[in-house]
Every structure is written in structure tokens, then in C-alpha cells.
Chains A and B, each alone.
Chain A
């Protein structure tokens, strides 16, 4: 068996790079009317649903350390988690999300339904800012190249209405293009060198918020 000549490799590789670049520079277009963000909720008690149906954008929870409840179950941790996020997971369903369903420059609840909640069980540092332990509502103002993630004291609210007077911290992070579209809006945590990354991804975009731990709890 003979290997193809080197320049064939080069052609394939250059073609690949070009293809990827083409994806990357795809213009962010689309201005169809919003779907998810304009539906006003009907309270369950008023909708006549005595036994509420399963939600189309189900709630989910994630922890740092990742899979904390399972680590606890198998006796791998005795201390409290560092943080957790409770959020709802809408799906792409063939729609273009950013710049369309989720508008650039407008607040977005980072999910669906109730406002997303992040709770720190110990103080952490994010972008040189000390964030005290406690619960915050978490929302976002997305732009094509960066997202501003906002921690707010406006807790236990429905995510459509944001009271900007209750903003506490704002962190801006660059967007990263995703090759394979993410169908369900997803958050996840990952260990980093000096703490944790909170990953947030949907459709063709993802961001990571680096969170530095003060404690030495990074297993």
C-alpha cells in the first residue's frame, strides 16, 4: 500500500480549512419574529390543568464539581458543592436561534420559563471580581461575538421580565462557534486549571465562563 503524495494531503487539509472558515464567516442573519420569548405564561391554576403536563422545555440541574450528587452517592465527596445551576432547556426544532428566536442585544433568560438560577455554596472569583456565596438569577445579553452574563438579585421570577435595577455582576465572554448544532439548550461544568468552566451552548454558539475557586476543592 502506498501513501498518497504529500501535496494531496495538503490539498485536503487546505480544503478542510477553507470549509471551516466558510462556516465561521457565515453571516448571522435572520430576523423572523420571536417565538419563545413573546409567549406570556398562563399560570397552571388558571389554565384548568389540574395535573400539569410535562414541560416542552424541561427543567434541569447541573453542579460543580460535575455530577456532584453522584459523587456524593458513591462517597467521593463529603463537602458541599461549589455551585449549581437550575435552568430550562428549550430545543432548536429546526429554527435559527441566535439573531432570530433569541435577539441580539436584548435580555434573554438563558433557557425558558422561570429565570435561570445559579447558587454558589462558597465565594468564588470571576474575572477578578469576588462573587459572594448565595443565589443569583442568571441571564444574558447575547451579541454575535460576545455574551454578557448577568447575575441579578431578581430571584424566583419568570424569565421574561428582567428588573435591571437588580443587576449585581456582569461578565462578558467571547462566543465560540460550534460545528454540530446543539439541539437542546445546554449548560455544563468542566474542571479547569484554576477552577471551573461553566459552558453554555445552543444551536451554533457556545460560551465558557471561567470561575476561580478560593477553596482547594477542585478534585
Chain B
């Protein structure tokens, strides 16, 4: 009888391996989902319509927390502290060619974007330490740009933290907005 039990146990084990494998803790969807934006705007769609240039210029990957009736600036996001410009992993800036951001030449490459928000202005930071979580290990020594942009008011509060590019005569503005605040970072091509 012992032998039968053992055989059955092995059989069950094999079945479980066959059906379950090792991986069963699939991660759930994120509360602050990730999103990406391109310059040119909607580059991947332009690409399948055969109307895109050879390569994109910029890709930004960021996470989108929601306001959910909370006071964002000054409470959820402290004034005067480095903020990951979103949630979860810090925001990533991928430049496919050299561009000028706030009149400073930034070389092609991958960077992390942060901001220090204040009431009247935000300090936008481009930092070269990549693949990081939040701003918890932020190292000022790895900054390659700090630039101030003034805050503007939104007519309607924005529920989800949003970034988008808006075309200008010389390139684009990166609009960053949440709640009733918006800032605009000039990019020159």
C-alpha cells in the first residue's frame, strides 16, 4: 500500500508540474499604469501608415497616478522635494538624437527625468542614472541638466498625471500636467 501511495504522490507531483509549472504569482495591473509618448506624436502609428521619419526623436515612459480627490501639489507631492514625475519607476527620457532642452544640448541616449515642484515654478532635472525606482536613490551628482519652468493653471483639474508633446515652430513643448498645474518644457530639434 505504501508503494501505491508513493507512486500516486509522484504522479500528482508530475501532474502539478505539468499543469502549474513554476510560475503562478502573476503580477496584477498597476494602480498607476505606465504609458509612453513619442515625438513625433504617435510615432508608432505614423510608422505603420508609412508616414514616419526613419527614427523617432524622443520617447518618454512614465507612470500615471490619479488624483482621486486628493490634494496633489503641496500635500501628496511635496513642494521642494525631488519627485519621480509619476509613480513607480522614475520617468524615462529616451533621446534618439541630440536635442536642445531648455536651450542646453543634450546628447542622444537614455536618461531619467525628475522634477522639484514649487508653487510658482518646477525645477526639471535630467539625470543619467537609469532603471531606477522612484526618487529614493536620486543622486544629484548624476544630473546633466537642471532647469526651471514656471507653473501655469489649468482651467479644469486633470485627474490622471499626463505628459504630452505639443508641436512648436522649432520643435516641441513637453507639457506635464496634473491637478490644476501645468508646466511646459521647450525642446528644440
Residues on A facing B (Cβ under 8 Å): 6, 9-10, 13, 16-17, 20, 23-24, 41, 43-45, 50-55, 58-61, 63, 68-70, 72-73, 75, 80-81, 84, 86, 89, 91, 113-115, 156-158, 160-161, 176-180, 182, 184, 186, 188, 190, 197, 199, 201, 206, 208
Contact = CB atoms under 8 A, between A and B. Distances in A.
A156 B136 CA distance: 30
A69 B131 contact: yes
A84 to B, nearest CB: 7
Interface string B105-146: 000000000000000000000000001111011000000000
Contacts of B35: 52, 54-55, 58-59
Contacts of A114: 36, 44
B45 interface: yes
A51 B164 contact: yes
A6 B5 CA distance: 8
Contacts of A53: 160
Given A51-B164, A73-B133, A86-B61, 6 more contacts: A9-B8, A43-B45, A160-B48, A178-B19, A179-B19, A184-B26
Interface string B149-162: 00000000010101
B162 to A, nearest CB: 5
Contacts of A75: 137
Contacts of B81: none
Interface residues of B, number: 51
B72 interface: no
B180 interface: no
A17 B5 contact: no
A206 B23 contact: yes
A179 to B, nearest CB: 6
B21 A69 contact: no
B27 A51 contact: no
Main secondary structure of the interface of B (DSSP, over half): mixed
Contacts of B19: 20, 23-24, 176-179
B61 A61 contact: yes
A32 to B, nearest CB: 25
Nearest to A49: B164
Contact of B41 (A24, A45, A199): A45
Given A9-B5, A10-B4, A20-B15, A60 B26 contact: no
B46 interface: yes
Contacts of B61: 59, 61, 86
Interface in B42-61: 42-48, 55-56, 59, 61
A198 B29 CA distance: 18
Contacts of B27: 186, 188
A73 B90 CA distance: 11
A54 B36 CA distance: 11
A182 B21 contact: no
16 contacts: A9-B8, A13-B11, A24-B18, A43-B41, A51-B162, A54-B35, A58-B29, A58-B30, A58-B33, A59-B35, A69-B89, A73-B133, A86-B36, A114-B36, A176-B18, A176-B21
